[in-house]
């Protein structure tokens, strides 16, 4: 929640004890071009890539943060069930149930167990049966997986852009009012200079000075009118942009997925019967 705005390239490394020696490996990245919703009817093109970018957006929060109620290494005997209490936190909003399941649990082929946590609820319990069968190739050992939650949230696309566009419209409206006032003042000054010019036509020296003052007043007035025209054009553009961003930022139902940190489970052999 305290992460600040950031963008850049990242590296991912893995560490493991192999033959009593720590090994460190850097992950290789791949990218996908997935342009169709029906992934089983098209060929998904993939390729290796040397770099991977990551961006952090501090203006938005995840709809929910998923975590087990206890931060520990879990243990269960083979052929027994493991109950994992789940706690939901975060300031995001969601609609309807959040369906949570174990994600990437090695040996579990399909149909993972799930638990539904209601819109107004923050707790639930996921029950995983560690009994080997045709769908779950499980044996004693250490396993890691994440809790994946899928639900619906009211999402507003790039709300800061909409707010900034609205603020810019208000700024331009205030600026235009100030420029209009300048236009009125310069028009009054130009009319006054014109009146003075009419009065001194019989005096050559005064006429020259009055003409110069009148020309200057006209230029100042025209400059104010030009500024007003440019400001009104900019306001029109800003208003259109504000309407567009406001439309994009309108709250709409959006499906999302969220993951917990990795959970470690030690599966042990069944206790010997005495």
DSSP state of 38: -
CB 33 within 8 A of CB 44: yes
Is the torsion defined by CA of 64, 69, 72, 73 positive or negative? negative
Instruction: Per-residue pLDDT tens, the chain, 274 aa: give them.
Output: 578 889 999 999 999 888 889 999 999 888 877 665 555 666 777 888 888 899 998 888 889 999 999 999 999 999 999 999 999 998 778 889 999 999 999 999 888 999 999 999 999 999 999 999 999 999 999 999 999 999 999 888 888 888 899 999 999 999 999 999 988 988 888 888 888 777 776 666 677 777 788 788 888 888 989 989 999 999 999 999 999 988 888 888 889 999 999 999 999 998 877 6
Whole-angstrom CA distances from 143 to 19, 21, 86, 139 are 19, 20, 18, 10
Q: Is pTM, for the whole model, over 0.75?
A: no
């Amino acid at each position: 929640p305290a992460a600040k705005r950031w963008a850049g390239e990242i590296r991912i490394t893995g560490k493991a004890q192999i033959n009593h020696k720590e090994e460190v490996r850097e992950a290789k990245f791949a990218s996908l071009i997935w342009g169709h919703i029906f992934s089983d009817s098209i060929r998904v093109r993939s390729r290796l890539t040397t770099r991977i970018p990551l961006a952090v957006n501090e203006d938005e929060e995840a709809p929910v943060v998923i975590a087990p109620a206890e931060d520990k290494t879990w243990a269960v005997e083979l052929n027994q069930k493991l109950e994992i209490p789940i706690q939901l936190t975060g300031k995001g909003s969601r609609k309807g149930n959040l369906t949570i399941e174990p994600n990437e649990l090695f040996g579990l082929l399909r149909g993972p167990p799930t638990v539904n946590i209601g819109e107004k609820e923050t707790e639930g319990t996921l029950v995983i049966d560690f009994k080997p069968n045709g769908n779950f190739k499980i044996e004693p050992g250490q396993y890691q997986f994440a809790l994946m939650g899928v639900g619906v949230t009211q999402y507003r696309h790039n709300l800061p852009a909409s707010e900034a566009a609205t603020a810019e419209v208000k700024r331009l409206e205030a600026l235009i009012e100030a420029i209009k006032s300048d236009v009125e003042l310069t028009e009054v000054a130009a009319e006054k200079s014109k009146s003075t010019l009419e009065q001194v036509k019989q005096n050559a020296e005064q006429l020259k000075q009055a003409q110069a003052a009148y020309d200057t007043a006209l230029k100042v007035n025209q400059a104010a009118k030009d500024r007003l025209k440019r400001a009104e054009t900019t306001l029109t553009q800003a208003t259109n942009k504000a309407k567009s961003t406001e439309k994009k930022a309108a709250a709409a139902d959006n499906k999302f997925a969220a993951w917990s940190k990795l959970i470690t489970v030690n599966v042990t052999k069944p206790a010997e019967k005495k």
